[in-house]
Amino acid sequence: MIYLDTSAAYKLLSREPGAAAVEALFVDGVGLLSSRLLEVELHATVERHGGSHEDVEAIVRRVDLDAVDDDVVDHALALRSGLRAMDALHLSTALLYGGTVAEIATYDKELAAAAQRFGLTLAPGCR
């Protein structure tokens, strides 16, 4: 299973470089996991920069979303990752899945570096 960060998912909406690599994750039938933060962040980005809320919903429907609960928050605090709050919560969610999540799809350099420090591999195209 691959953890999908907002920076990667947004490429599908913006058609930025890297969008093809993210699309390939969906086409390959790989299980994708994210936090409910993904949904909030994508809708907020569409509000700020334009785009379609329907496109956001189409992306979100194809990803298993995990709740942001006390376990995720407590784990994020314990990690002391040095990341911004939302990225710390994304990292925490991915790591709480243990061996089920081995890769992370992100284009955020700080999150990528932290994820690698904690044992996750970057998904193809995110290097």
- Contact call for residues 106 and 8 (beta carbons, < 8 A): yes
**What confidence tier does 16 reach under pLDDT thresholds 50, 70, 90?**
confident
58-117: per-residue pLDDT in tens?
999 999 999 999 999 999 999 999 999 999 999 999 999 988 999 999 999 999 999 999
- Here the CATH number for the domain that contains residue 37 is 3.40.50.1010
Q: Report the 10 Å Cβ neighbour count for 87.
A: 23
Is residue 127 domain-resident?
no
Q: Which domain holds residue 35?
A: 2-122
CA distance 14 to 49: 9
Domain count, the chain: 1
Dig out the tokens for 89 from the structure. 């919560």
- Which of 27 and 37 is assigned the larger pLDDT? 37
CA angle, 7 as apex, 40 and 121 as ends, to 5°? Answer: 120
| Amino acid at position 37, single letter | L
